[in-house]
């Protein structure tokens, strides 16, 4: 009896990875995935903390490159749990190893562009290499896939392995060259995902949008929204506080909230179409969206620090207004991939046009550079007007279809 229980425990603790053919469409996000996502909060906060004081073109480019690396890491880890994970000891163990490596990334990410670049490179290379091992293990354990699916996964594992070697090799380079390698790495991965979406036997062969996957991408948006909150709070803590400073901080906080409001009403918890190009654009569209929100948090710190200035500093104004513009254009990219966009063109078509207009208006606000509190209020007004326009389109469209679409976003 004891031997039988021990055998069952061993089978549970080191259960083979779940096969690709074993898709769980109604699977809910578990505590392990929530814990995994929570770790990224620390990583992104450390990255944004440094960016808040380097709102120059060079500083924002470096922030964008490193953020893209973190997004790629998160996508790899999240997709692995979606496709191969389970509620067993093996999954918990491999997730803990990922979390440990992410902790190292959080330690070294603040100065990754300069003094801690080598350490960050080694930690990131180790993370990508570990993911290559996990994906390879999942591929070799999978006996239910069609041959073409196994071939796609083989190419993916090879890409991860090569990426790990390239990243680690960059440790010998100068800071400037290393940043170029990171940027090239991010571009290659973005282009690779886009191309995989175009192949008939590519992305759509291995990724099926499920409730859990859609929710995970929404959770990543919540992660960067949390960074906005921490950034504003840390900015208020670090300086003397008076009425205008506190009001400016609260307005900056409301700007992040407005971003989240629009995303979750228009995009969040809505399924992309189940074809390769739509899945690829849906995933990749979340990169500029979350990047924009994260820059908003970093720029919010500077906004608070300059609350008494007559005009917003140029770097802060362009970072904040530019991030709003990028976020609205990302909304256009993502919304065109949704099933609801195909079902309700009278809603999503005009909203796309309004989003582009809102992006132009945000850039105009950055050009005039009003006082920090006024700049944030004007950006909130732009986002608020877009949200009201979206609601109006839902209300005036076919009632039954609109109600169904709204329900799919909030149920």
- For residue range 307-332, list pLDDT tens digits in order: 999 999 999 999 999 999 999 999 99
Instruction: Tell me which of 26 and 278 has the higher pLDDT.
Output: 278
b vs e for 191-224, b when ≥16 Cβ sit within 10 Å of the residue's Cβ?
Answer: ebbbebbeeeebbbbbbebbebbbebbbbbbbbb
Written as six digits, the tokens of 249 are 């901080």
The strand pairing partners of 338, in sequence order, are: 272
pLDDT value of residue 274: 87
Helices (H), 238-371: 243-266, 276-305, 314-335, 339-343, 345-368
Return the C-alpha torsion angle 181, 185, 187, 192, nearest 10: 150
Average of per-residue pLDDT values in the chain: 87
Output 213-217 pairs: Cβ under 8 A, ≥24 positions apart.
Answer: 213/78, 213/79, 213/82, 214/269, 214/270, 214/271, 214/272, 215/28, 215/29, 215/269, 216/29, 216/33, 216/37, 216/78, 216/82, 217/282, 217/283, 217/286
Distance CA(44)–CA(68), nearest Å, equals 11
- For residue range 288-308, list pLDDT tens digits in order: 999 999 999 889 888 999 999
pLDDT value of residue 394: 86
pLDDT value of residue 150: 64
pLDDT value of residue 400: 46
pLDDT value of residue 202: 62
pTM of the predicted model, to two decimals? Answer: 0.90
Mean pLDDT, to the nearest integer, of 39-56?
87
Of 297, 299, 307, 296, whose CA–CA distance to 240 is shortest?
A: 307
Of 361, 404, 376, whose CA–CA distance to 259 is shortest?
A: 376
pLDDT value of residue 288: 96
Mean pLDDT, to the nearest integer, of 105-118?
93
CA angle 196/194/121 to nearest 5° reads 95
- For residue range 48-94, list pLDDT tens digits in order: 887 877 888 899 999 999 999 999 999 999 988 888 877 788 888 99
Instruction: Tell me which of 186 and 234 has the higher pLDDT.
Output: 186
| Res. 402 pLDDT band, cuts 50 70 90 | very low
pLDDT value of residue 291: 96
> CB of 267 within 8 A of CB of 328?
no
pLDDT value of residue 201: 61
Mean pLDDT, to the nearest integer, of 244-254?
92
pLDDT value of residue 354: 96
């Amino acid at each position: 009896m004891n031997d039988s229980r021990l055998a069952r425990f061993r089978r549970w603790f080191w259960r083979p990875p779940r096969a690709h053919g074993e898709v769980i469409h109604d699977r809910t996000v578990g505590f392990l995935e929530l814990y995994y996502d929570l770790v990224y909060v620390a990583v992104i906060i450390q990255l944004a903390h440094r960016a808040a004081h380097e709102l120059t073109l060079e500083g924002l480019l470096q922030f964008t490159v490193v953020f893209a690396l973190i997004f790629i890491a998160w996508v790899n880890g999240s997709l692995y749990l979606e496709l191969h994970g389970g509620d067993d000891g093996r999954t918990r163990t491999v997730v803990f190893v990922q979390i440990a490596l992410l902790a190292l990334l959080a330690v070294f990410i603040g100065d990754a562009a300069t003094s801690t670049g080598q350490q960050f490179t080694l930690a990131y290379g180790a993370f990508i290499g570990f993911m290559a091992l996990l994906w390879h293990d999942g591929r070799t354990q999978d006996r239910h896939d069609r041959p073409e699916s196994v071939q796609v996964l083989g190419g993916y594992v090879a890409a991860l392995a090569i990426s790990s070697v390239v990243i680690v090799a960059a440790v010998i380079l100068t800071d400037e060259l290393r940043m170029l390698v990171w940027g090239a790495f991010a571009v290659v991965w973005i282009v690779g995902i886009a191309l995989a979406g175009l192949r008939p036997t590519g992305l759509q062969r291995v990724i099926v949008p499920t409730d859990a996957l859609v929710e995970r991408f929404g959770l990543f948006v919540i992660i960067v929204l949390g960074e906005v909150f921490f950034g504003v709070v840390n900015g208020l803590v670090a300086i003397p506080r008076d009425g205008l400073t506190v009001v400016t901080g609260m307005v900056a906080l409301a700007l992040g909230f407005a971003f989240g409001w629009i995303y979750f009403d228009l995009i969040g918890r809505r399924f992309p179409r189940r074809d390769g190009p739509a899945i690829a654009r849906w995933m990749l569209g979340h990169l500029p969206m979350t990047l924009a929100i994260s820059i908003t948090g970093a720029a919010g710190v500077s906004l608070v620090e300059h609350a008494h200035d007559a005009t917003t500093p140029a770097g802060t104004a362009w970072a904040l207004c530019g991030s709003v513009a990028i976020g609205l254009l990302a909304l256009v990219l993502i919304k065109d991939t949704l099933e609801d966009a195909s079902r309700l063109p009278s809603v999503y078509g005009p909203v796309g046009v309004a989003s582009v207009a809102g992006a132009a208006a945000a850039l105009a606000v950055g050009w005039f550079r009003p006082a920090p509190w006024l700049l944030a209020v004007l950006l909130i007004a732009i986002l608020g007007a877009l949200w009201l326009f979206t609601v109006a389109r839902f209300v005036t469209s076919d009632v039954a279809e609109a109600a169904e679409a709204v329900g799919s976003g909030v149920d």
